[in-house]
Amino acid sequence: MRKTTLLSVMGVFVALSPAALAADLPGRPIYKSPAQIVEARYNWTGFYVGGHAGYGWARLSGNDEFGDPGSGDLKGFVGGGQVGYNYQMGNIVIGFEGEYSYSDVKTEISLVPAFGAGDLKVRNDFYATAAARLGYAFDRWLVYGKGGAAWTREKWNVNDGVGGAITGSFDRTGWMVGAGVEWALLGNWSAKVEYDYLNFGGIDETNFTNTSTVLTTGGATNVKSVNQIVKGGINYRF
């Protein structure tokens, strides 16, 4: 009987040993750091289409039929559309863009010759460009430059005031450079502001149609055309 009691007591001490007590204690709480939310950076890669509107001005300079130099200034509204593609590598964004713009960049001069009243109108009736773009992205902001080819059509109309006129239309090809800033809005929309410089070099403008009985023209030579445009626009990215 005594032996059984001792064994029972020893069993109690074994049950209350440190290992056994530790097993009965509650475990330490495990604290996890809160998950960090990382906002995705804006990606400029993709095709886009859009529209633009702005103001343009131009300077024409050359020599008349007698070799005397002359110049004139044109100015007016410009508006149209663009289509392009961007590809982003890190912060660098490369791409290409084509633009077509209706133009009302023009000059109108009233003439009062000895034979009656008349007027002179010169107008660039469109601008078109095809350019490569290179930019640097600051998340939703894109600063870029562009450069490429440019085209325009220059139209002349000299009204002699007595029912006749001298008219001419001259297509020009040149080059352009530009720079701008674009901001990504909500969704796939973005807005931009841009400056463009277009140079069409010098050409001889001698192929005029003359229906006037009182005016004659030998045309003009080495007529240079330098154009500048400031515009704002909206793009939708696919």
Which stretches of the chain are DSSP H helices? Answer: 2-15, 18-24
* pLDDT tens string 170-189: 999 999 999 999 999 988 99
Specify whether the CB–CB gap between 60 and 69 falls below 8 A.
Answer: no
Model-level pTM? 0.80
Give the distance from CA 3 to its chain's centroid. Answer: 100
CATH 3.30.110.40 fits domain 46-237: no
Specify whether the CB–CB gap between 59 and 226 falls below 8 A.
Answer: yes
Q: Which tokens go with 49?
A: 């289409």
Domain boundaries, the chain: 46-237
Per-residue pLDDT of the chain (238 residues; tens, 9 = 90+): 444 443 443 344 344 445 444 445 555 656 555 555 545 689 999 999 999 999 999 999 998 877 888 888 999 999 999 999 999 999 999 999 999 999 999 998 876 554 455 788 999 999 999 999 999 999 999 999 999 999 999 999 988 878 888 899 999 999 999 999 999 998 899 999 999 999 999 999 988 998 888 877 778 889 999 999 999 999 999 9
